[in-house]
Structure formats: structure tokens, C-alpha cells
Amino acid sequence: MEALHEFLQSSAIGDLLPWPVQMEAAQKFDVSCGKVEDTALELGLLPSRYQRNRRAISVSQQLTLFRSRVAVIGCGGLGGYVIEELARLGVGTIVAIDPDVFEEHNLNRQILSTPATLGRPKSEAAAARVAEINPAVTLIPLQVAYSSENGEELLKGSNVIVDALDSIPTRLALAETCTELGIPMVHGAIGGWYGQVATQFPGDDTIKKLYSRWVAGKGVEQELGNPSFTPALVASMEVAEVCKIILGRGATLRHRKMVVNLLDMEFEEVKFERLLEAVTE
Amino acid sequence: MQITVKLFATFREGRFSVEGREYPEGTRIAVILSELNIPEQQIGMIMVNARHAEPDQELHDGDTLAIFPLVGGG
């Protein structure tokens, strides 16, 4: 390991570690690309691919992201973009959960879908895409449907859960599991020109509130469908929330939701009154 | 009494975004929902002055009522 340290330090350009060096180190020392990345970050060296993160994210924060695990529930419209952005951001382990395969009606918006991936599992396409864009990241594809029964097994060990589901009852079940496991959950939902984002920390009942009047069926998306731009935007907002939660920075959408209306191009923050118990926590 | 009613997303279509409206003292939220022809099964959440509310809640002068449709796609 000492030899790897020396190799990385002597091959770095300033504090940047170019990709060919990262690859060479993996081969030379017979370790994974991820192991090289972890070691480099620990030495204060930044893999060059992250150099444009620099002003926003420091080397030590990049290491924190790399050692984090994020589970993305749903690999469709929202999930595809979420996974793409998490991998480029440098989150080290991504769990991609979706039982479905790509169908033609996904092609208008789901970034992981192409004519070539029709009929292929969405989670598998996520793994292939991440391997292509950032081989240092481990993507764990799980072609299963999330449920209260398998929830704990699927989510345990994750630092943050991303809701990219298209079902309201499954979302409500996911929120409950997140609370039980004490994991923050970033919620996103879309329909037509509209979307919403909110973050629930353990002990909050945000998701339950958002869908408190739900009895059955789907939301406005049933009628309006989902065009390409809404999932891209809402997914990006979700990833920004994930990044802040992991790094403990900025102000998250806790106790509030951001309502997005792209038809009138309006963003509105809706604040929830905090319960007294939550305030004194 | 004066109530500010805020509608979100599809609920604005054929209605309004935000309006100050006059109602008799003690009007319940359900009355306003039916006046505005908003089917209850399309509602995701109702808030009064940033607090979560139910349709049977009575409103008071100066309240702001916000009505959100269900948005559930991914």
C-alpha cells in the first residue's frame, strides 16, 4: 500500500490525479479503480475528473461523498437522472432498485432508455451506464420491487434514500421504512409540467403530510404524462439535496417543499409548521 | 371574512392562482372545495397558514388556504 501511495504522489500533477494514472495504478497494484480513488482522496489528491467540482466541493468532502452509499428507488424518469448525477458527483456506492424493463413509452424522458435497451432491466442499464461514465463508482443493480417486506434489507447501510418512485402507496411505505431505519429520504415527484421536492429526516412525517388526502390511484401524471424536462429538473434538485445531506452543508428542504410549475415558470416554497416536539429535538 | 385561496398546478386551470375571497364566518374547507369544484380524490394536501389541514376544518378571517393536487409520477 505504501508503494501505491508513493506511485500516486509521484504521478500527481499538483494535487490532481489524471485518469490514465488512476487506471495505471489500478492495474499495477491489482486493486479496483474505486480503491485507487479512495486512496488518492485520502492523500489529498483529487482525481482530475472532479476538478470542476473544486470550488463547490473540497477534496475531503469529495472523500466523504466517495465513502457514501445512496439508494435510488426507481430507475425511470427521475431515477435515471439521479443515478447519472450521483455517479458524476462521485458518490462511491449507488444502489439502483427497479423491477421493470424499458418499454417504448419510456423513451421520451428516461435517460437510461434507448432503442437498444428496450426490454432490458432498468437497474441493469443503470449499472452499464455508471460503469461507462465513472468506473470508480460501484453501482449495485437490484431488479426487485421495493416493499415494506424487503425494505430493510434493501436500504440498510445507505446514508440517504432517493425517492424516484411512480407510486404513491409505495412512497408512503418507503417513508415509513426510512423512519424506522433512521435514514434521511429525499422525495421527488412529477406530473406533466409540475413537480415537487422535499426532504424528510427521521422522525418527520413529511411524506405522510404530502399525500395525506390520498386514497387510491395516481396523481396528475395519470392525465398529463411526463415530458422530458420535468424529471431532469426535479432529479437535479433531489441530487443537490443528497449532496448537502451527506456533506452537512447548506439548507435542505426539511420542513418545506419546493413546488415547481414549469408551465407558468414558477417555483414556490411551501413551509410546514414544525411540530413542537421536532423543534425541541 | 376574508380568505386567501391559493391553488397549485392543475387546480388553477379554469380557476385562478391566488385570490382573496369572501366567506361567511366559520366556513369549512369542504365548502370551498365544493364551491370550486375540486374533487376530493384529486387532492394531495391541504394547508391553512402553513399548517396541515383537513376538509372539515373551520376557517377564520385572514386565513390562507392552499390546495395541492396529487403529484406522484417518477
Where in chain B are the domains? 2-69
Q: Contact, A57 vs A41, CB < 8 A?
A: no
Residues of B in contact with A213 (CB under 8 A): 40, 43-46, 70
Which residues are CB-contacts of A188 (< 8 A; sequence separation ≥ 6)?
A78, A162, A163, A164, A195, A196, A197, A234, A235, A237, A238, B74
Give the separation between CA B33 and CA B9, rounded to whole angstroms: 15
CA distance B24 to chain A (A): 25
Residue A202: pLDDT band (50, 70, 90) is: very high
pLDDT per residue over B39-73, tens digit each? 999 999 999 998 889 999 999 999 999 999 999 99
Output the pLDDT for position A18.
Answer: 98
A38: how many CB neighbours lie within 10 A of its CB? Answer: 17
Indicate the fold that domain B2-69 takes in CATH: Ubiquitin-like (UB roll) (3.10.20)
Residues 20-59 of B with CB under 8 A from A: 40-47, 49-52
Name all domains of chain A by residue range, CATH numbers in brackets: 2-62 (no CATH), 68-280 (3.40.50.720)
**A73, A165 in Cβ contact below 8 A?**
yes
- Determine contact: B18 vs chain A, CB below 8 A: no
Apex CA A189: angle with CA A218 and CA A57, to 5°? 165
User: Residue B18 pairs with which residues in a beta bridge?
Assistant: B6
- Nearest to B25, CA basis, from B58, B49, B66, B48: B58
What pLDDT, in 10s, does the model give residues A77-126?
A: 999 999 999 999 999 999 999 999 999 999 999 999 999 999 999 999 99
For the segment A127-152, the average pLDDT, to the nearest whole number, is: 97
Is A279's pLDDT higher than 80?
no
CA nearest to A192, candidates A158, A231, A156, A163 = A231
- Residue A271 sits at the vertex; the CA angle it makes with A270 and A273, to the nearest 5 degrees, is 145
Each residue's pLDDT tens digit, A154-196: 999 999 999 999 999 999 999 999 999 999 999 999 999 999 9
B47 and A219: CB-CB below 8 Å?
A: no
Tell whether B16 is within 8 A of chain A (Cβ): no
- Cα distance from A236 to chain B (closest Cα, Å)? 13
> Within a 13 Å sphere around the CA of A84, how many CA atoms are in the beta-carbon half?
18
CA atoms within 13 A on the CB side of A234: 41
Cβ of B74 within 8 Å of Cβ of A196? The answer is no
* Cβ–Cβ pairs < 8 A, chains A and B: 106
* CA A242 – CA A248 distance, rounded (Å): 10
Locate the chain A residue with the closest alpha carbon to B17.
A264
Please state the ipTM of this predicted complex. 0.90
